[in-house]
C-alpha cells in the first residue's frame, strides 16, 4: 500500500515543481510594447520632433521611428513603466493638436537580464 502512495506523492511533487518553474519563467519573460500611431496632423519634421520629444519624456521610453511620408510613428516602450498610455500620451497629443487616427499594437519579447 505504501508503494502506491509513493509514486502518487512523487508525481504531485513533480507537477508542483513544473508549475512553479513555469510561473517564474512567464514572470521573468516580460514584454515591451511597440505601438504604431498614424497621425494625419503630423505634416512636418517639426511636428514629428515635437511628438517624439513628448514620447521621450515618458517613463519607459526606448525608441521612436518616424515615417513622415506615411504620417506615422512607431513607439517602443516598457509597458511596466508607462502606467496609462491614454492619459500620459494620447490625451496630451490630442491637446497639442495631433490626432491619432489609428493605433496598432505589436509585442516584442524582451531579453531576460
Residue-wise pLDDT for 30-63, tens only, equals 568 899 999 999 999 999 999 999 999 999 999 9
Is the pLDDT at 15 greater than 60, yes or no?
A: no
Mean pLDDT over residues 3-20, rounded?
A: 54
Domains of the chain by residue range: 31-109
Is the pLDDT at 79 greater than 50, yes or no?
A: yes
- pTM reported for the whole predicted model: 0.68
CA dihedral in degrees (64, 90, 82, 73; nearest 10)?
-10
Instruction: Please state, in angstroms and rounded to a whole number, the distance separating the CA atoms of residues 81 and 48.
Output: 23
pLDDT at 31: 64
Q: Are 43 and 98 in contact (CB under 8 A)?
A: no
What confidence tier does 92 reach under pLDDT thresholds 50, 70, 90? very high
* CATH number 3.40.50.2000 is the correct assignment for the domain at 31-109: no
Instruction: Please state, in angstroms and rounded to a whole number, the distance separating the CA atoms of residues 100 and 71.
Output: 10
Q: Are 104 and 34 in contact (CB under 8 A)?
A: no
Classify residue 97 as exposed, middle or buried by CB count within 10 Å of its CB (0-12, 13-18, 19+): exposed
Backbone angles phi, psi at 107, to 5 degrees: -115, 140
Amino acid at each position: 500500500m505504501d508503494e502506491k502512495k509513493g509514486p502518487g506523492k512523487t508525481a504531485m511533487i513533480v507537477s508542483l515543481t513544473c508549475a512553479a518553474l513555469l510561473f517564474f519563467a512567464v514572470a521573468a519573460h516580460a514584454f515591451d510594447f511597440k505601438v504604431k500611431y498614424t497621425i494625419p496632423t503630423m505634416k512636418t519634421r517639426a511636428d514629428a520632433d515635437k511628438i517624439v520629444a513628448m514620447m521621450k519624456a515618458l517613463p519607459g521610453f526606448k525608441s521612436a521611428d518616424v515615417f513622415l511620408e506615411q504620417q506615422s510613428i512607431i513607439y517602443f516602450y516598457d509597458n511596466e513603466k508607462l502606467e496609462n498610455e491614454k492619459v500620459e500620451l494620447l490625451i496630451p497629443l490630442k491637446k497639442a493638436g495631433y490626432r491619432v487616427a489609428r493605433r496598432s499594437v505589436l509585442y516584442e519579447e524582451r531579453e531576460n537580464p
